Structure 1
Amino acid sequence: MQIRPAREGDAQGIAYVHTESWKTTYRGILPDDFLDHLTTESRLSQWEKTIRSGEKDQILVVAEQIDGNIVGFACGGKEREGKLPYDGELYAIYLLKEVQQRGIGQQLARYVVRKLHSLNMRSLMIWALERNPACRFYEKMGGTPVQTQQIQIGGQELVEVAYGWEDITFFGAKNLGSS
């Protein structure tokens, strides 16, 4: 497994992981009809644009298997909303279901956090749906719930939780060691 920055040509794999992970992670949380209509094609232009933008304050990394298949990705950058006192934000982290629970998510998240730290970001947050099983992952990585908000996805009202790290130097140190 290789964790590396996304590059031209990765958008298809990232869009596939994005779509498929939503379908498995959010089944039972979001309406089935909404999930059933998600397609790789609908996410493709978003990821092509993100890769092409080459923004200095953002990072997009992929988890690539030896055969070249992308099985996960993470992205982050400056905190987007300005409502909470955090410099950086982990915008997304997604893995295909079949590769979860293997430490790949930790590797992806740590890669993004190291890059954000190198850009002088000292604190971090991520928004997650309250019923998302990944909330346990964020807590294991040392995140503390700091705020909730209502959002609407697929015509359904949901609660989103912000997890925060006041000092990203300690990201993941809670239960995993600080390496």
Structure 2
Amino acid sequence: MAYMIREMKEGDAYGIAYVHVDSWNTTYQGIVPQGYLERLQVGEQEQKWETILHEYPGKSNYGLVAVNDESEIVGFAICDQADEKEPVDGELNAIYIHENDQQHGIGRALLRHVLANFREKGWETFLTVALVDNPSFPFYEKLNPHYLRLDTWKVDGVELQEWVMTFHVTEVEALLG
């Protein structure tokens, strides 16, 4: 199946919300408390994404979707300028691929576009945050991260650990080929 990467736009909210909720439910099953996952609703996320897309693009944010040959959104990535307290330029806020479309190079393609955006802005470093138990963690490990710190996130009374990892744009570009 062929995929196209393009910038997010108004009208993409449902597709992004569907991938977002479905990815959380398939990826974090048994990791994130079940009650939290059950409360994630596509309709509610769609409203949040409609607001984001209505305001998009902001000063520094950049969002992409991966679309299959049937015009369905099967993945997305969004990035922004890093918080001032962080020792990097940019942040990869989210990258999600629908479970059925993983392992086809979509994540790498989305990341290449994100890196090109960082380069256009003159940003040399970025961070991302991932749950320690995320089954997709090997994706990040292949990119040679620097483990900045281990944070704790509390969900429904359960403490989850997440790595804050930093990367160099040039190094990740070379690793992606």
Aligning the two structures, in what range does the TM-score lie when normalised by the shorter sequence?
A: over 0.9
**How many Å separate the matches in 2 of 1:88 and 1:72?**
20
Match of 2:53 in 1: 51
**How many Å separate the matches in 2 of 1:121 and 1:50?**
23
Deviations 1:112-143 (A, max 9, x none): 12112211211010011111122210111232
Query: How much has 1:109 moved relative to structure 2?
Result: 1.2
Matched, 1:41 2:47: no
Deviations 1:8-60 (A, max 9, x none): 10011000100000000000101122212211111112211211212131101
Q: 1:24 aligns with which of 23, 26, 30?
A: 26
103-112 vs 49-58, which moves further: 49-58
Gaps of 5+ in 2: none
> TM-score with structure 1 length normalisation?
0.92
Deviations 1:135-178 (A, max 9, x none): 2101112323221111112332111101111x21221423x42x
**How many Å separate the matches in 2 of 1:28 and 1:144?**
27
112-121 vs 13-22, which moves further: 112-121
Gaps of 5+ in 1: none
Do the aligned residues in 2 keep the contact of 1:141 with 1:173 (CA within 8 Å)?
no
Do the aligned residues in 1 keep the contact of 2:115 with 2:173 (CA within 8 Å)?
no
**How many Å separate the matches in 2 of 1:151 and 1:135?**
17
Q: 1:128 aligns with which of 127, 130, 134?
A: 130
Deviations 1:41-95 (A, max 9, x none): 1111221121121213110100001111000000001113x34311100000001
Equivalent positions of 1:1-179 (< 5 A) are 1-53=3-55, 54-80=57-83, 82-165=84-167, 167-174=168-175, 176-177=176-177
**How many Å separate the matches in 1 of 2:173 and 2:141?**
9
For the aligned residue pairs, the C-alpha RMSD in angstroms reads 1.3
Number of aligned positions between the proteins: 174
Q: Secondary structure at the match of 2:160?
A: strand
How many percent identity over aligned positions?
Answer: 37
**How many Å separate the matches in 2 of 1:133 and 1:107?**
19
Q: What amino acid maps onto 2:38 in structure 1?
A: D
